[in-house]
Every structure is written in C-alpha cells, then in structure tokens.
Structure 1
Amino acid sequence: MVIIAYWIVAGILALAYLFSGATKLVRSKAQLEASGQRWVSGARPSFVKFVGVVEILGALGLILPPAFSILVILAPLAAIGLVLVQAVAIGVHMQIRDVKSLPINIVLLILAFATAWLAVLTLILF
C-alpha cells in the first residue's frame, strides 16, 4: 500500500515539476512573466533556467531511481530538494506580494513532504 501511495503522489509531483521546469527552459522571461509568473521580473534569465533544470532533475529523481531500483536513496533526497524549492518559492512570492500563487505553492510543498515521507517509509519497509 505504501508503494502504491508513493507512486501516485510522486507521479503527480513529478508531472507538475516536469511541466514547470520545461516551461522555464523553453519560454523566455517575458513569456513567463506574461503567463503570470511575476517572480521572474526580478531574476536573471540564467537563474530562471537554473530553477527549471533543478525542477526537472527533482522530478526525475523521484521517478527514475525507484523505477530501476538503482540508488533509491535519491528519491527521498529529490523530494526533500523539492520541499526546499517550494519553501524558497513561497518566500519569494510572499516577498513580492504575489499571494495569488501561494495556494499552488502550498499544495506542491505538501505533496513534496508527503513524497519524502512515503519514500523514506518505502526504504525502511522494503
């Protein structure tokens, strides 16, 4: 049951971060800002791309190690990394008073915490 819960939560989280990260990599700063991502106005384009890469690597870290049973310790570490990404994102959105983005950030933070917890449980139990 824990494994099934992990795959459901990790899958949802990975899809969200793959989409978000890919969007940051392929769209310009102006396009991201026009789509409602206000935080990019104060960031360098290279930093926006860096965040995109981190999000994609985090998503891959949730899925690939457990899927192939190789370095499975990377899954909880990736989830913890995504918790940190969301904690920083929430801080940035609060700093620029972008409260409209906070609900999705909070949901992603909760999903990342749940994924980390389920990944650790999976390591302990199996």
Structure 2
Amino acid sequence: MNVALWIVAGLLAAAYIFGGSYKLATPKEKIAAAGAAGEWVNDFSSGGVRAIGALEILGGAGLILPAVFGIAPVLVPLAAAGLVLLMIGAALTRLHRHELHLVLVDLIYIALAAFVAWGRL
C-alpha cells in the first residue's frame, strides 16, 4: 500500500507542479487560446489564474516534500485534501461551463488525491 501511495503521490505532484508552473508562467490569453481545455481561464482574472497555479504548486510539493524529509508528515494528507477541494472547484467550473467531457478528468484527480489523503492519515 505504501508503494502505491508513493506512486500516486509522485504522479500527482508532478502533474500539479507542472500544471501550476504553466499557469504561473503563461499569460491568461495564451492559456485561453490553447483550446477548449484552457477556455476556463476566461471565468477568472489573471491574478486568479496565477493564484490557482500557486496553489497547485504548493499542493504538489506538499504531497512529497514533508514525507521525504520527515518534517511534519501530517502535511501530506492536508495537501492532498486541499487538492481535492481545488479539483472540486475545477469540476464545478467545468459543469458551469457545460464541459462535461472534461469533468471526468477532474473526478479522476479528485479520486487520486482522496486516496493519498486517506492512505496517509
């Protein structure tokens, strides 16, 4: 079980750190122009998109770093729970935008982050 938790946490951390970095470094207009999956940024200000990116980076780092360094490992399930909340917001945004085909991806992220939160408690 521990190996599965590390694998899922590592994959989630990589995805969130990469995605969050993209949101921090890329202008909102360029994200929106990337296609249907990026049009959600039109519902948020540039600062809001950057804040989401920062939360994703912090959550991704929180999935790995506390456990690796053995400093406050209780932060791992808290980071995972925070990512669950973030992805619930993403799913609700997609539902509001009638992007039902993308909600499934959000639900998978929710399930994986919930697995890490449950497993690390």
TM-score under structure 1 length normalisation? 0.91
Give the match for residue 123 of structure 1. Answer: none
Give the match for residue 16 of structure 2. Answer: 17
SS in 2 for 1:72: coil
SS in 1 for 2:72: coil
Structure 1 residue 113 and structure 2 residue 114: aligned? Answer: yes
Once residues 16 and 27 of structure 1 are traced to their aligned partners in structure 2, the CA distance between those partners, rounded to angstroms, is 16
Gaps of 5+ in 2: none
Once residues 90 and 112 of structure 2 are traced to their aligned partners in structure 1, the CA distance between those partners, rounded to angstroms, is 15
Structure 1 residue 8 and structure 2 residue 7: aligned? Answer: yes
Select between 59-68 and 98-107 the one with higher mean Cα deviation.
Answer: 98-107
Gaps of 5+ in 1: 121-126
The one-letter code of the counterpart of 1:48 is V
Once residues 33 and 112 of structure 2 are traced to their aligned partners in structure 1, the CA distance between those partners, rounded to angstroms, is 27
Structure 1 residue 96 and structure 2 residue 89: aligned? Answer: no
**Number of equivalenced pairs:** 119
Q: After TM superposition, which residue ranges in structure 1, 4 or more long, deviate above 3 angstroms?
A: none
Q: What are the within-5 Å matches in structure 2 for residues 56-71 of structure 1?
A: 56-71=57-72
Cα displacement (A) at 1:6: 1.2
Identity %: 39
RMSD: 0.9
